[in-house]
Amino acid sequence: MTPSAPELAGRTALVTGAGQGIGEAVARALAACGAQVVAVDREAAGVKELADDYPGGQVVARELDVTLGPAVDELVDEVERVIGPLDILVNVAGVMRPAPVVELTDADWAETFAVNATGVFHTSRAAARHMSGRRGGCIVTVGSNAAGVPRSSMAAYAASKAAATMFTKCLGLELARSQVRCNVVSPGSTDTAMQRQLWSEDAEASERRVIDGDPEAYRVGIPLGRIAAPADVAEAVVFLVSDRARHITMHDLYVDGGATLRA
């Protein structure tokens, strides 16, 4: 590879939840850096539209429900066989079912964990089986700063993201001697459909409350004074899967504008 070649040229990446929001931004950012991207989502329309923007086939779309272990194994095997050795996995697929705990249904709790935690297990296990044998690869899980800070009406989401975060770190420890790096990117409030479902009809006022904070909900604001764009999170992912981060593993990188006031 010449110095002028794209940073991720020659590498194959699988991105879950790529039909919109952060997942779409990650897929586009990886493609911009030269990677061959397999964009998956359980809603086929979004990833198909994404792939259509790359007529040369640099981004290919596949429909996948990450909660189904055998389907995940089958897709990863197909990628390895048809497209190329999987170098990068980015777990972005996620759902949120906001509700106070006393009103949270069994179904919403189970669905949240099935996608946000068990889905990460399925995809990471399938990828790790191939990566470890080749002694190389990168896995990044997009978690949430809610995994480390209690949030009202977000118990299921926060708990599932905490589970996915610790799972990814444990996997990183197990795979370290195989030179497979596993890291987490934890966004705060990001301008996505998931974020906007928490807002009232007045989007401008809702955004201002997120930035300024809400003492009644025991929530600080965002010191940098802005809500993240999906591309902000995608840039952190690209760094962690690149050779610039070759000595970083089991790390949790918060991308939240300082909202959690982490020491």
Asked if pLDDT for residue 67 goes beyond 50, the answer is yes
Unique residue bearing structure tokens 């399938």: 126
Least confident of 22-36, 42-56, 75-89, 189-203: 189-203
Q: Note the pTM of the prediction, 2 decimals.
A: 0.95
- Identify whether 157 is a catalytic site residue: yes
Mean pLDDT of 193-204: 72
pLDDT computed for residue 3 by the predictor:
54
CA-wise closest residue to 23 among 38, 9, 8, 12: 38
What is the distance between the alpha carbons of residues 83 and 80, in angstroms, rounded to a whole number? 6
Asked if pLDDT for residue 201 goes beyond 80, the answer is no
What is the distance between the alpha carbons of residues 107 and 235, in angstroms, rounded to a whole number? 34
Asked if pLDDT for residue 44 goes beyond 60, the answer is yes
What is the DSSP code string of 69-106?
Answer: HHHHHHHHHHIIIII--EEEEEE---------GGG--H
Which tokens go with 249?
């593993």
pLDDT computed for residue 191 by the predictor:
87
Q: Above pLDDT 70, what percent of the chain? A: 97
- pLDDT tens digits for 206-248? 778 889 888 888 888 999 999 999 999 999 999 999 999 999 9
CA 133, 130, 58, 191 torsion-angle sign: negative
Unique residue bearing structure tokens 């990188």: 253
- pLDDT tens digits for 140-156? 999 999 999 999 999 99
Q: Above pLDDT 90, what percent of the chain? A: 85
Asked if pLDDT for residue 183 goes beyond 60, the answer is yes
pLDDT computed for residue 214 by the predictor:
85
Mean pLDDT of 53-57: 95
Q: Compute the mean pLDDT over every residue in the chain, rounded to the nearest whole number.
A: 94
Beta-strand pair 86-91/12-16: parallel
Asked if pLDDT for residue 196 goes beyond 80, the answer is no
pLDDT computed for residue 200 by the predictor:
66
CA 117 to the chain's CA centroid: 11
pLDDT computed for residue 5 by the predictor:
81
pLDDT computed for residue 1 by the predictor:
45
What is the distance between the alpha carbons of residues 188 and 186, in angstroms, rounded to a whole number? 7
Mean pLDDT of 178-186: 98
Asked if pLDDT for residue 193 goes beyond 80, the answer is no
pLDDT computed for residue 197 by the predictor:
73
pLDDT computed for residue 203 by the predictor:
75
Asked if pLDDT for residue 198 goes beyond 80, the answer is no
